[in-house]
Structure 1
């Protein structure tokens, strides 16, 4: 018996940047009346996630938590103070001062904090039970050489960690937080890898330098580039640092890379130095720095198999998108010709990962990186021919304005990739432009086959908001 259920939409993204487009994807999903799946990487080892990983191990959960909380539905017709309170609660970060942060944490777990206002007793006691479990686990792991640092800790991250420890399942922890946040059944948040373990990434630059760990790639406190002419595991300074870390009792295995064991709690995304050269390749590593190939979450592959459209959202190219695309099984699913729409929403600016400023990425460079990641997933190393790019990207949506990546429409159309230009809006006090929600919804709907009658006289590559 045929159900004629509409195929879904799969969005590859990271955390904060793509959160700004959640309402866009929601509207497109509503018009298509289909399932919407977000695929989120779990390789982040910066911020409060780094302390949770150091003490408990497990995946980098910050981007998963961020998306789940962002998906808490807003109902303008009803005053739902509890949903608003839960959103504030799980987005709350403790103060940066370590002592003040710990004091506030104790207020929260003892239900003596204003954050609990407007949250019903049933949900409050469920949330508090998980947070008290985390607190108990932190106390169990207290050692003279290692104490948990609550500085800047995310309450949502602590809850998701506690749920994972309680159930023994990352997938179950996501289900619990989704339920508490009332995330609709038609929208799912899928970790790229369903794991209880920590997985790190490394990348190589065009000048031969290797950088280890996502935090070091995207926003390091200090340079962690490794000299390719030396073996970092055997150099004297590294041996001393490794032995020093081995004396600390935490979740790290003895002898693992010091770079992956540091607390990366404090950093600024605003102050980013250029990389010395372009990123050429990214891969997963084990705790000792050796390259490994990992399989994608089966639910991700299932969503891709049943997709009518794949969207690569805005965000960090090499730390938000590529870690999901290089996983085994993903490349073949992306290249599946039955998926007609494979849409890249191009970033509005160039960042640290798509520089340096002397040689910024163009649109074709973004697409080439995605195609190369897809080929890597399939076990096909090396460069991908330009005429094969359209197997992974069929449509490009982009902005025009100061600082936006260069788009050569003729070159892209020559290799079978359609371009749709969207006029954005300027950000007050900034020189760059950002996507206008209505214009982006229109561009996606036109691309996916629903034509707005008001747009009959607008060319497909010059949509205006």
Structure 2
């Protein structure tokens, strides 16, 4: 009888989008009877994470927290009120009003809040000890120039920060939250970089523009004058025209931020030091051009090359399949892929299945709307990132316009034979707004395409993956499932609309 440990499944993803597919990956893992690892980037500097980073430094932890909480197991045969309470607690956000937020935070820390209902005494006091620790550290850091803003802060993020500060280890903090959330031992959440420091990213556009910081790349906020900063009259001696808001220069912003006592190095880039960055995922303007490349930077903007978390490389070295999940291409997937060691491991021929689940829509990062990404462009970007991870000067670039024919002799795909080193299968939807998939061009590259039915959700203007259809597609791709599904067939759903069935086409 063989005692060899089954090879695992590795999922590259960000936070919120891929959380919708957690049950899909769980089912596939159960049927394959193997470990499952989620690789999560730590470069996010938006939302309530921005305030934690400003005051304490350290990695962006929001996506890690959201995945751990999403993995709390549901037991339909057992009413576990404590697990439900834990999920609500760690996902809870404080009010947007800073005074109401501070008031509610103190109620939670003092155990005088309804969120603690249904917690056992032992678990409540364990969690409270780390919240009290981070509250104490916040009070220690209060200065006339700097106070912590609790607006819309995530309780789970505050807990993870307290655990990291106490243990001195990000992964120890993840282990603690994973244990509290009863995440099964066969499923792990692995930060792309194991660090106690903040690591930011920059993106270069094809028109030469450079955008600094993940939030600015993915969900920029409207520019505004610095609160309390006296920046006019400017060097010309003139005040701004009546009715116009003065816009500070980078030098003025740097000087302003240097007066604030926080965890940032003096003189570091202003865009990386903003306080409590709020953003909307539903209201983003197009980029001025396509993203051509993404890289890590130090606090002053210089490019740096970083190594992946050794646990990431260990997971990849023992993987039977890699899945690139849905989500933001350049801020959820690429930050993990460009790390040293990742590309080499993904390219290993021992990993048979390298599956891209294509987004069902185009976002700010895969536009602009005048030249939306095709499936080929997504694969080209992944290939370029993995090549850069290996130190290979990549000639792989996404096509410059959506009307460019991927089968023409000038197509980067046909001049780049190593696409299949990193992507062997593409799973996609078909319908209004979905990226274009040229099956013939992908077939010439040795990449197999699987089209699955989706479902339209009321109130949304895009198609979602149907869970049953996606599970079936993954299992057929990885060598398990109904072999009859290898044949072209329809299911019970009408087109891409609603329905209870599941199905796929080759």
TM-score w.r.t. the length of structure 2 is 0.88
How far apart, in 2, do the equivalents of 1:187 and 1:439 lie? 23
Corresponding position of 2:80: 80
How far is the alpha carbon of 1:388 from its aligned partner?
Answer: 1.0
Corresponding position of 1:441: 471
Q: Deviations over 1:406-447 (max 9, x none)?
A: 000000001000000001001112332110000000000000
How far is the alpha carbon of 1:355 from its aligned partner?
Answer: 0.2
Task: Assess if the C-alpha contact under 8 Å between 2:149 and 2:276 holds in 1.
Answer: no
How far is the alpha carbon of 1:380 from its aligned partner?
Answer: 1.2
Task: Assess if the C-alpha contact under 8 Å between 1:152 and 1:265 holds in 2.
Answer: no
Task: Assess if the C-alpha contact under 8 Å between 1:314 and 1:347 holds in 2.
Answer: yes
Corresponding position of 2:402: none
Partner SS, residue 37 of structure 1: strand
How do 1:184-203 residues align onto structure 2 when only pairs under 5 Å count? 184-203=184-203
How far apart, in 1, do the equivalents of 2:173 and 2:135 lie? 17
Task: Assess if the C-alpha contact under 8 Å between 2:221 and 2:277 holds in 1.
Answer: no
1:113 partnered with 2:150: no
How do 1:276-425 residues align onto structure 2 when only pairs under 5 Å count? 276-384=288-396, 385-425=415-455
How far is the alpha carbon of 1:243 from its aligned partner?
Answer: 1.4
How far apart, in 2, do the equivalents of 1:140 and 1:431 lie? 47
How far apart, in 2, do the equivalents of 1:192 and 1:20 lie? 20
How far apart, in 1, do the equivalents of 2:266 and 2:461 lie? 48
How do 1:200-219 residues align onto structure 2 when only pairs under 5 Å count? 200-219=200-219
Q: Deviations over 1:126-162 (max 9, x none)?
A: 0000000000000000000000000000000000000
Q: Deviations over 1:8-63 (max 9, x none)?
A: 00000000000000000000000000000000000000000000000000000000
Task: Assess if the C-alpha contact under 8 Å between 1:38 and 1:188 holds in 2.
Answer: yes
Task: Assess if the C-alpha contact under 8 Å between 1:387 and 1:416 holds in 2.
Answer: no
Structure 1: runs of 5 or more not aligned = 225-234
Instruction: State the Cα RMSD in Å.
Output: 1.7
Q: Deviations over 1:73-132 (max 9, x none)?
A: 000000000000000000000000000000000000000000000011110000000000
How far apart, in 2, do the equivalents of 1:120 and 1:76 lie? 21
TM-score w.r.t. the length of structure 1 is 0.95
Q: Do the aligned partners of residues 453 and 379 (structure 1) sit closer, same or farther apart at CA in structure 2, a change above 3 Å counting?
A: closer
Aligned residue pair count: 454
Partner SS, residue 504 of structure 2: coil
Aligned with 1:428 (options 436, 443, 458): 458
Task: Assess if the C-alpha contact under 8 Å between 2:476 and 2:483 holds in 1.
Answer: no
Corresponding position of 1:57: 57
Task: Assess if the C-alpha contact under 8 Å between 1:342 and 1:394 holds in 2.
Answer: yes
Corresponding position of 1:180: 180
How far apart, in 2, do the equivalents of 1:118 and 1:248 lie? 41
Partner SS, residue 471 of structure 2: helix
How far is the alpha carbon of 1:457 from its aligned partner?
Answer: 4.2
Corresponding position of 2:504: 463
Corresponding position of 1:28: 28
Q: Deviations over 1:340-370 (max 9, x none)?
A: 0000000000000000000000000000000
Q: Deviations over 1:150-179 (max 9, x none)?
A: 000000000000000000000100000000
Corresponding position of 1:271: 283
Corresponding position of 1:45: 45
How far apart, in 2, do the equivalents of 1:250 and 1:430 lie? 40
Q: Please, which moves more after superposition, 239-248 or 34-43?
A: 239-248
Aligned with 1:249 (options 261, 264, 268): 261
How far apart, in 1, do the equivalents of 2:223 and 2:434 lie? 27
